[in-house]
């Protein structure tokens, strides 16, 4: 998505109650807390599908990240938005389940601030993605041990929110993978 698109996001309080709506870029410029989601798709080998963000994205361009991520439109559920963006970015869809959420704040490139209540959503698929080149320019499947090694050796190659999910919150995902199924 380019900078001229006016996309509204939901500004929220720390309990995820919507308190206002604002254009996405403005919310990132002002560093206001807003709702987001991060989708993680695993295959039957327990490998995670990563995407490399396209160059020309308004922040974090060219960095590796989770399968897809975005912001639900005001009034849109997290799961509906996740299905929509998974199809738009990666060219496929699958069953999804919301696992947990967390809040983070980080300074980004282009003088932007991510302050998000990020809903982590998980799914399973063995489909090869059909990338929307405006969103993602590459993909790879990695197991978590390989991924953690890559992050420790090449931290600057990954988005901030994805590093937080893998390094600070992965135990919640691992527990789900070991005990549940979609």
Show which residues are catalytic. Answer: 69, 116
Instruction: Tell me whether strands 34-42 and 113-124 are parallel, antiparallel or unpaired.
Output: parallel
Given a contact cutoff of 8 angstroms between Cβ atoms, the answer to whether 155 and 166 are in contact is no
Name residue 36's beta-bridge partners. 118
Output the CA–CA distances (angstroms, integers) from residue 115 to 29, 36, 94, in the order listed. 10, 9, 28
- Token pair belonging to 28: 């990132």
Instruction: Tell me whether strands 64-65 and 68-70 are parallel, antiparallel or unpaired.
Output: unpaired
Task: Tell me which residue of 129, 105, 108, 125 sits closest to 116, measured CA to CA.
Answer: 105
27-61 as b/e: b if 16+ CB within 10 A = bbeeebbbbbbbbbbbeeeebbbbbbbbeebbbbe
- Token pair belonging to 119: 């809903």
**Secondary structure element (H or E) that encloses residue 44, with its range:** none
Given a contact cutoff of 8 angstroms between Cβ atoms, the answer to whether 68 and 1 are in contact is no
């Amino acid at each position: 998505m380019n900078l001229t698109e006016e996309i509204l996001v939901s500004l929220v309080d720390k309990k995820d109650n919507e308190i206002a709506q604002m254009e996405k870029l403005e919310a990132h410029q002002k560093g206001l807390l807003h709702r987001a989601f991060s989708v993680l798709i695993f295959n039957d080998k327990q490998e995670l599908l990563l995407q490399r963000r396209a160059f020309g994205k308004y922040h974090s361009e060219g960095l590796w990240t989770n399968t897809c991520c975005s912001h639900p439109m005001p009034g849109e559920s997290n799961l509906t938005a996740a299905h929509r963006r998974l199809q738009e970015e990666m060219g496929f869809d699958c069953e999804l389940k919301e696992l947990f959420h967390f809040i983070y704040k980080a300074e980004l490139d282009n003088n932007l601030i991510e302050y998000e209540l990020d809903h982590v959503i998980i799914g399973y698929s063995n489909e090869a993605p059909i990338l929307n080149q405006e969103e993602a320019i590459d993909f790879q499947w990695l197991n978590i041990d390989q991924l953690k090694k890559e992050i420790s050796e090449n931290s600057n190659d990954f988005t901030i929110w994805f590093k937080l999910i893998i390094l600070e919150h992965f135990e919640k995902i691992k527990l789900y993978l070991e005990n549940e199924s979609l």
